[in-house]
Amino acid sequence: EAGVAQSPRYKIIEKRQSVAFWCNPISGHATLYWYQQILGQGPKLLIQFQNNGVVDDSQLPKDRFSAERLKGVDSTLKIQPAKLEDSAVYLCASSPRRDRGIIQYFGAGTRLSVL
Amino acid sequence: EDQVTQSPEALRLQEGESSSLNCSYTVSGLRGLFWYRQDPGKGPEFLFTLYSAGEEKEKERLKATLTKKESFLHITAPKPEDSATYLCAVQASGNTGKLIFGQGTTLQVKP
């Protein structure tokens, strides 16, 4: 079974530029998560989708971050404009549903450096 | 506020030297506690889920335990390939499935 695919693996941009990340979850997984992991910290949830609807975006900086999941499969996360503090690894995860104890499977992440 | 704290931040062991990693949590209704392993440049990889105090799970040299306030990940006779960052996360009450992670413990096992 193929895992969660993310691209690009690395991205370097200057502050105030825009950037987009792509995620393809495990086939059949209805729930998709985007996490931000700053160096030396654990992942922090940015946004969660159930199919193509948003379940939780309470920690998404909506003035600069946006995300969509068209057709309930692939998802993109965009930052516009980027700030220095956005330098982090952006992880995508998926699960079959969002029940108690359900395992989330993570992709390898996109490492973003904002200069 | 739901919170997870892991200790120590970093741990160096000699091969074969057993030890434990700690995960303390404060959560409004625990639906599950998760342990993940993260290698450099990779995403977290699932290890265990624990649901209630007193529960234990084992996998090779790893054993996870759970109390009402904390979880331990015991590593018995570790090998260099066990070197990684170990992340603890809780799933709180509510129906989102959201995980709240600790900052992780970076384990280095020297041969």
pLDDT, tens only, A41-58: 999 999 999 998 999 999
**B25 has a pLDDT exceeding 70:** yes
B104 contacts chain A (CB < 8 A): yes
The whole-number pLDDT of residue B96 equals 75
Are residues B104 and A41, on separate chains, in Cβ contact within 8 Å? yes
For B29-68, the three-class secondary structure string (H helix, E strand, C coil) is CEEEEEEEEECCCCCCEEEEEECCCCCEEEECCEEEEECC
Nearest CA in chain B to A47: B98
Structure token digits, residue A81:
């404009």
Higher pLDDT residue, B2 or A8? A8
Put simply, whether B45 touches A (Cβ < 8 Å) is yes
Inter-chain touch B98–A104, beta carbons under 8 Å: no
Residues A106, B45: C-beta atoms closer than 8 Å? yes
